[in-house]
Amino acid sequence: MAAPLLPPTTLPPFAQRAWGGAFASGEWQDWRWQLAHRLTSVRAILDLLGDDFRVAPDVRAAMERAGAASEVSVTPCYLALARPDDPRDPILPQVLPDPAELDAAEQGSGVPDPFREEELEIAKGVVNRYPDRALFLLTNFCSTLCRHCMRRREWEGGFTRLSDAEIDAAVAAIAARPAIRDVLLSGGDPLNLPPSYVGKVVRALRERCDLDLLRLGSRVPVTLPMRIDDELLRELAPAAPLWLNTHFNHAREVTAEAAAALRRLAAAGVVVSNQGVLLRGINDGESDQLDLSRALLRAGVRAYYLHHCDPVQGVRHLRVGLARGIELIGSLQGKVSGLAIPRLTVDLPGGGGKVQADGPQLRERRGDTFVYSSPLCGERVAVDGSEGSFGGAGSWRVGVAAAGPL
Ligand SMILES: *Cc1c(COP(=O)(O)O)cnc(C)c1O
């Protein structure tokens, strides 16, 4: 059966109540309106969902504590994809803090920066881990903060972006290393920045560096698809060919609006691939992955990576066991084109680089411990491939939460 594309006129009852007027007037289609109306606390989200979302009072209080201990943000158009009465809703658990985020075991199981990105900086914002590649972090701002974010450490201390002088220094540092053939602009979400700012950065990189590949990492096609407008595409055009890696995790996110944004990108010569994250209770079923891949194929997007959940503090409850992840991806072989099958990828802790979970770098497996050789230094790195310690996404729902550790 075809994965659903939501017609553009669908708002669930809670969203109709809150934003029906803005939707009817067309303000909804303005990305600036969407950014200005982000929901930035657990209370704001739960008040908006109202009685459509049933959660026990003690769980609600624990969620508010988890939200207060970090940051919360979601655009109206992303939250409107939630179906709060669906026990397998894949949207809410990506944006609503789970009480498990604060659990001591959860906190103890991860670190803020498992990949030592901050040590590998060659200029402010430029991480050079692979000899041929540079990760260029322009901002820590994201319109929608994913609970499974690998850079949760960046959420603290308010939002910033690199200044003109810092961009100049970063581009100079990249240009001074001719071994760098590939620049990946990320953040935060670089496409939440003003179009003229993004345009300036991509043009500077094209003019001053000799690159094979210039890429953007952005979840805007998912969380703010109206952002892909003519103004932005005009700014990006001089830097063509550009590649964009986006982050769809579930077929429910491939809406008509998202598909239209992806078509606009393709028409402007931007090549779009998908990097999802394997999330417990969100997309860890075979049909979840098949439906997602098929919806993306219809939107002209090929599957690239499916990330094993990184050992970042507060994310463990969403982690799928590595053995199960390998089995899941294996089960897709033969059922759908290779263009639709992502590579299950583990980012080695300590900055050892990314490896294919069941690829040639897997040297040894002892129970849930997977030992890989780093493609960068050859060193052996042990990866904890165990399942999350709590119920996974949605375990806070009434009835399920009662049986959990809380
Ligand atoms: C993931 C990553 C890249 C890009 O890796 P690809 O495998 O080419 O997608 C570049 N730099 C850093 C630091 C990364 O973590």
The answer for residues whose C-beta is within 8 angstroms of residue 32's C-beta and 6 or more apart is none
Q: Which of 130, 246, 271, 306 to mutate to test the pocket of ligand 1 (most atoms within 8 A of CB)?
A: 130
Distance 285 CA to ligand 1 centre (A): 26
pLDDT of residue 354: 96
pLDDT of residue 4: 46
pLDDT of residue 103: 81
Give all strands of the β-sheet with 121-123 in edge-to-edge order: 121-123, 126-127, 133-137, 182-186, 213-217, 242-246, 270-277, 302-307, 343-348, 353-356
* Structural domains of the chain in order of their starting residue, each with its CATH number: 13-95 (no CATH), 107-384 (3.20.20.70)
Q: How many residues does the chain have?
A: 406
Q: Is 212 among the catalytic positions?
A: no
Q: Which of 129, 312, 376 to mutate to test the pocket of ligand 1 (most atoms within 8 A of CB)?
A: 129
CA torsion sign for 134, 155, 74, 310 is: positive
Q: Which atom of ligand 1 is nearest to the CA of 127?
A: 13
For 360, what's the count of Cα atoms within 13 Å in the CB-facing half-sphere?
2
pLDDT of residue 106: 66
The 8 Å CB, 24+ separation contacts for 226-232 are: 226/29, 226/30, 226/31, 226/34, 226/77, 226/257, 226/261, 227/31, 227/191, 227/192, 227/261, 228/191, 228/261, 228/264, 228/265, 229/31, 229/264, 231/195, 232/191, 232/195, 232/198
Ligand 1 first shell, C-beta below 6 A: 127, 129-130, 133, 135, 184, 354
User: For residues 204-235, b (16+ Cβ closer than 10 Å) or e, as one string?
Assistant: bbbeebebeebbbbbbbbbbbbbbbeeebbeb
The answer for residues whose C-beta is within 8 angstroms of residue 22's C-beta and 6 or more apart is 28, 33, 37, 76
Q: At what angle do helices 42-49 and 13-25 cross, to 10 degrees?
A: 100
Q: Is 288 among the catalytic positions?
A: no
For ligand 1, atom 12: residue with the closest CA: 135
pLDDT of residue 261: 96
Q: Is 52 among the catalytic positions?
A: no
Catalytic residue (choose from 78, 89, 146, 288): 146
Q: Which of 115, 116, 133 to mutate to test the pocket of ligand 1 (most atoms within 8 A of CB)?
A: 133
Q: Which atom of ligand 1 is nearest to the CA of 245?
A: 9
pLDDT of residue 104: 66
pLDDT of residue 3: 45
Catalytic residue (choose from 147, 151, 280, 294): 151
User: Which ranges of the chain have pLDDT less than 70?
Assistant: 1-9, 104-109, 398-406
Q: Is 88 among the catalytic positions?
A: no
Q: At what angle do helices 42-49 and 57-69 cross, to 10 degrees?
A: 140
Which residue shows structure tokens 């209770």? 281
Q: Which atom of ligand 1 is nearest to the CA of 128?
A: 13
Q: Is 309 among the catalytic positions?
A: no
145 and 72 in contact (C-beta within 8 Å)?
yes
**pLDDT tens by residue, 303-329:** 999 999 988 888 999 999 999 999 999
Q: Which atom of ligand 1 is nearest to the CA of 305?
A: 9
Q: How many CB atoms lie within 10 A of CB 78?
A: 24
For ligand 1, atom 11: residue with the closest CA: 135
Q: Is 347 among the catalytic positions?
A: yes
Catalytic residue (choose from 77, 78, 142, 209): 142
pLDDT of residue 353: 93
This prediction has a pTM of 0.94
Residue 392 and residue 326: Cα distance in Å, rounded? 18
pLDDT of residue 10: 78
